[in-house]
Amino acid sequence: MSYYEVDDQMRKAMYVRIQTTAIIDSAEKQIAAISKEMKAEDQYNQEVVFQMYFIEIMLQSMYNDLYHHLDGKYKEAVMMGIFRLRQMTFNVNEQWEDLRRTF
């Protein structure tokens, strides 16, 4: 094996190594960007879940207060309206949780 053959093989090996390194670096950057996006999206989803549960707790608290302090002919209608609103909020929370699990 002559000097020129070794030099040519070395050049080919370096070319392959440079190309491989470029592909790996590009893939690492893409993975990091995707990971960052997923983390930001998950944080947003978590905030939405907390807010929805706070709304649900607030409605339940209102329901309890009104149940004990409201009298008269409108009590049943108001209680039913608050109960339905709380139930709808609960269902939306469940649907949101199910949607999040699909990601």
Write down the domain spans for the chain: 3-101
Could you read off the pLDDT of 58-72 as tens digits, one per residue? 998 998 998 888 888
Could you read off the pLDDT of 16-31 as tens digits, one per residue? 889 988 898 888 889 8
CA–CA separation, 14 and 83 (whole Å): 71
Helix (H, G, I), strand (E, B) or coil at 23: helix
Residue with tokens 């409605």: 59
CA–CA separation, 54 and 49 (whole Å): 9
Asked whether the predicted pLDDT for residue 12 surpasses 60, the reply is yes
